[in-house]
Structure 1
Amino acid sequence: MKSSLVDKIKKLRKITGIGFMDCKIALIKTNENFDKAIFWLKTKGEKIALNRSFIETKEGGVISSITMDHTIGTIIGLSCETDFLSKSRIFLKFLNFLSKHSLLFKNKKEFLSSLYKKQSIQDLIFEKMGIIGEKLELKIFERIESLFVMNYTHHNNKIATLIGFNKNVNNNIAKNIAMHITAMNPITIDKDKIPNDLIKQEIEIIHKQIKIEKLPYDKKEKIVSGKLKKFISENTLLNQKFIKNNKITIKEYLKKSDKNIKINFFIRKRI
């Protein structure tokens, strides 16, 4: 038996408390995937007393919600142990409940200590852990307020976005931009918001890329300028090409609707 497999069996035993041979079979059956091995053991009816302090909550889901008046939005991220659970109905239903309830609170601490039917949210999370048999942890709590807020959650519940505008915006337009942010992951809204150290870092990277090229100084600087311009256009929201129409930028897309619309801020989170 390979030593790497033996080490994995020992680790799985430490996590689950299951016997050596059962752990060995579970790992072989699942190509040595820990999450799948634990799930396989559970499906076989094994009583797993998981060592919660040892387990990493590397899976989970996020969801964004907004108030009815579109002035407040939150992103909630709940971690769990396995990808199987993160996709389950019981997990997603609980995540959705937490998200809706979170709209009433300003920060993570306030939210976790808040009461729902005489139980704190933290206690509800602990209670749910006992039901599903996995460690759960509130990893993300983000909140924004603006004159108009829109949200978008990717269908796999791994990425969620909030965006705040300076005035009321057509729902479809606001949703399209939130969807664009989710897909394209801009660094910031516009070039004037990019941190100076990030610009300096990018210039350094570009210089290293063209260092070996035997070009005159002025031509090298022209290349640097061009590459930097491309970096800015690809990584700032207003200058990115709109995912639904790559012939126009987000800035142009907004102007078509209302030239006075401004994006105050956005938050994009993934788990």
Structure 2
Amino acid sequence: MAEVTAATVKELRERTGAGMMDCKKALAETNGDMEAAIDWLRTKGLAAAAKKAGRTAAEGLVGVAVAGNRGAVVEVNSETDFVAKNDQFQEFVRTVAELALKGSGTVEGLLAASWPSGGTVEEKLTSNIATIGENQSLRRSAVLQVQDGVVVSYVHNAAGAGLGKIGVLVALESTGDKAALESLGKQLAMHIAAANPLALTGEELDPSMIERERAIATEKAKESGKPADIVSKMVDGSIAKFRKENALLSQLFVMDNKTKIEDVVKGASKDAGAPVSLNAYVRFQLGEGIEKKVDDFAAEVAAASGIKQAEPAGA
């Protein structure tokens, strides 16, 4: 059986919000498997759905840039928040976002792009690492474009113009008034930053994610002791609710918490003077999916729960 350490309990607590002893028990029951432990907690009703996209564990900045009907978003990581506040680093991220507007959205293509003062983006990044004295990386990029309409950007926890901890792009297709579209796009982008939808529509949600939710819902429904046909209906209801709550178009608008986003878009057609279509969106949150380094809180957890701390590598 895998050893349950203070560090793994800490991570599970951060990802689920469950109590310390419940996390310890979940890890023990699942032989230390983190994902299985999350599912175990959820089947017991002890944790909410863990969205990996909400796990911020790296420093750096997300940068956005928009030009006409095209927008780009990039994430550049650094080792510490101190570097993220560095003027040289911020200017690098801002310039990379602007260069991304001309590319295909791939990191490889962006690294090979020409830097304004000479060389490539990759060479400039290498130079920055040497100058600043801390490792940095261009982690990802994305580009959105519409035929006729607007691409609107928004940054949350802004560190400067076009820079922040969360970057959002919204693509609205319409021949309508651009000012009205910009206003709608900004509101939708703010909603996306706050609500963190997992897909544009319920049908576009990752099938593997749906299967995982179905397995969890099935275990919870079986514990009710109801007949198989009722259990099946309970599971279908849970999946339908999951799709509704995690697909952008069916989410309730955070501004009033009662209007579906798809209805917000339809209603905006009147102000724009033409039909409006929400074609796509991108949301980058700094560090999502990157594991956090173990800090001193692990010792605090160990002291409180009597769990043995893992020995450092090579000790």
What TM-score do you get using the length of structure 1 for normalisation?
Answer: 0.71
Alignment of 1:83-232 (within 5 A): 83-106=81-104, 107-113=106-112, 114-147=114-147, 148-156=150-158, 157-168=164-175, 170-232=181-243
Please tell me the residue identity of whatever aligns with 2:83.
Answer: L
Equivalent of residue 238 in structure 1, options 203, 228, 249: 249
> SS at the partner of 2:76?
strand
- Does residue 63 of the first structure (1) align with residue 63 of the second (2)? yes
Q: Distance in 1 between matches of 2:99 and 2:133?
A: 23
Matching residue of 1:264: 279
Sequence identity, in percent? 26
Deviation digits for residues 145-168 of structure 1 (CA, Å, limit 9, x no counterpart): 223312222125222122222225
Deviation digits for residues 111-157 of structure 1 (CA, Å, limit 9, x no counterpart): 32313122322222222223222122111121222233122221252
Q: How many residues align?
A: 213
Higher mean displacement: 205-214 or 255-264: 255-264
- Deviation of 1:224 after TM superposition, in Å, equals 2.1
Q: Distance in 1 between matches of 2:263 and 2:156?
A: 24
Following superposition, which runs of at least 4 residues in structure 1 exceed 4 angstroms of deviation? none
Matching residue of 1:53: none
Deviation digits for residues 52-83 of structure 1 (CA, Å, limit 9, x no counterpart): xxxxx94211112111x1x2111111111112
Gaps of 5+ in 2: 1-56, 159-163, 287-315
Q: CA 1:210–1:94 in structure 2 vs 1: closer, same or farther (change >3 Å)?
A: same
Structure with bigger RCO (C-alpha 8 Å, 6+ apart): 2
Q: Distance in 2 between matches of 1:255 and 1:162?
A: 19
Q: Distance in 1 between matches of 2:262 and 2:174?
A: 16
Please tell me the residue identity of whatever aligns with 2:153.
Answer: N
> SS at the partner of 1:118?
coil
Q: Distance in 2 between matches of 1:263 and 1:111?
A: 27
Deviation digits for residues 191-231 of structure 1 (CA, Å, limit 9, x no counterpart): 22234443333222111112111223343233223322221
Matching residue of 1:74: 72
Q: Distance in 1 between matches of 2:85 and 2:222?
A: 48
Higher mean displacement: 232-241 or 83-92: 83-92
Please tell me the residue identity of whatever aligns with 1:267.
Answer: V
Gaps of 5+ in 1: 1-56
Computed over aligned residues only, the root mean square deviation of the Cα atoms, in angstroms, reads 2.2
Q: Distance in 1 between matches of 2:200 and 2:81?
A: 33
Max radius of gyration: which structure?
Answer: 1
Q: Distance in 2 between matches of 1:84 and 1:197?
A: 38
> SS at the partner of 2:259?
strand
